[in-house]
Amino acid sequence: MLSRFLVLASVAHSMVAHSYFTSQNASTLEELYGPAVSPDTEIAESTDANFSTVVGPRWSAWEAPHWSGAIKPASVHDLQEVVKISVANQIPFIATNRGHGPKLGQGQFTGININLASFNTVTLDTANNLVTVGAGVKLWDIQTTLYDAGKEIQTGNSVCPGAIGVTIGGGIGMMTGMYGLMIDALQSARIVTAKGNVVTASPLENEELFWAIRGAGVNFGIVTEATYGIHEQTNGGNVTAVTFVYAAPSNRSIWELLATFDGDQPEKLSFQAVIEYDRSSNSSEVIVQFWYFGPVTEAQPYIDLFTAVGPIVASIDYLRQTDLYYESQTSGVCDEGHIVSARTLGFNRTDVASYEAHFADMTAFYQANPDFQGISVFQYYSNRVTLQTPTSETAFPWRDIQVWWLTQDRYPDSSIEPQVDEFMAGQRANLQVTSGFSTPHVYFNYAFGDEGPAAWYSEANLPKLRELKAKWDPDYVFGNGAPLY
pLDDT tens, position by position, 120-136: 999 999 999 999 999 99
Q: How far apart are CA 134 and CA 349, in angstroms?
A: 37
Q: What is the pLDDT of residue 16?
A: 36
- In order of start, what are the domains of the chain with their CATH numbers? 29-115 (3.30.43.10), 122-233+462-472 (3.30.465.10), 235-457 (3.40.462.20)
| Regions of the chain short of the pLDDT cut 70 | 1-25, 329-332
Please check whether residue 378 is in contact with residue 344, taking contact to mean a CB–CB distance below 8 angstroms. Answer: no
Q: How is residue 37 annotated by DSSP?
A: S
Q: What is the pLDDT of residue 334?
A: 87
What are the percentages of helix, strand and coil residues in the chain, rounded to 5?
35, 25, 40
Residue 31: count other Cβ atoms within 10 Å of its Cβ.
Answer: 13
pLDDT tens, position by position, 380-389: 999 999 999 9
Q: At what angle do helices 417-433 and 352-368 cross, to 10 degrees?
A: 170
pTM for the model:
0.94
Q: How far apart are CA 223 and CA 22, in angstroms?
A: 28
Those residues with Cβ within 8 angstroms of residue 365's Cβ, 6 or more apart along the chain or in another chain: 372, 423
Q: How far apart are CA 454 and CA 485, in angstroms?
A: 9
DSSP 146-159: HHHTTEE----SSS
DSSP 281-329: TTEEEEEEEEEESS-HHHHHHHHHHHHTT--SEEEEEEEEHHHHHHHTT
